[in-house]
Structure 1
Amino acid sequence: MAITNKDRKQIAAVFSGTCSRKKLCPVKDFMASFSDKWSIYTILLLGQHQKMRFNELRTAINGISQRMLTVTLRALQENGIVARLLYPEIPPRVEYSLTGLGEGLLKQLLQIAKWTEENFETMLKARKKYEKTL
């Protein structure tokens, strides 16, 4: 699939818009906020399960520490991607879910996941080829 002139114009529009006039570039800000593995994995899990408690997320995300999950969930909440619902019970119960904004992001991540599945073997072959050149 070749990059078209329309695609190039869309890319140029991203960089000539707010990125050139303001210090905050939406694309860079998005990538800094959500491109880490923990955020993406958390969004995908919440999309699959709809609602999850903290310990359910921690168990499901192999390798994440309690602190990193806390930081990740707070960042996702701050940006309106995840909602945190606290039930006034004893002991307190907290559930996390995607907001409407988070569901929109999830749909885009699913497109990336589909592309990854379709191209994973090609990427593995490219890695092996690259390793031989070192």
Structure 2
Amino acid sequence: MRLWQWALEVYARPSVAEACLSLQDGHGQNVPYLLWAAWRAHEGRPADAGEAARLVQRWEAEVGSPLRAVRRAIKPAWPGIDDDAREDFRNAVKDVELRGEKVLMESLEALSGEPGPALDLLDSLLEAVQAAGDPPRETTLRALSDALS
């Protein structure tokens, strides 16, 4: 299954979204990257986690994080800004942010090898986090692993 479709299906589970957002907001993790690591474990796809991490780090710094910051900044009402216009603009930013996540996931998928026997999910998540240069957050990663299982 393609990464984007798989990610949409698993992210729809409330416990997966909650675990992903906890890792993003509480630990600075990139959700598409974590979902890619989980997908490649599920699919048994080999990949260079270091190459993927470098791609994600640049994308997050220059695209993902700035878009998320704009979307969050305009969430509350602003004095002097029409609420409907602000909300329409916020939705447009949200759509662009989502399209950006799709571009990133398609790029990560392109770095992945052919499917094979499934890999250990938690090990794949830990490998991805370590390749990104972040210390492993095993307890929080385990929550995501459990939600995906």
TM-score range relative to shorter protein:
under 0.3
Which structure has the higher relative contact order (CA within 8 Å, separation 6+)? 2
- Which structure has more helix as a fraction of its residues? 2
Q: Indicate the structure with greater strand content.
A: 1
TM value normalised by structure 2: 0.24
- Structure (1 or 2) with the larger CA radius of gyration: 1
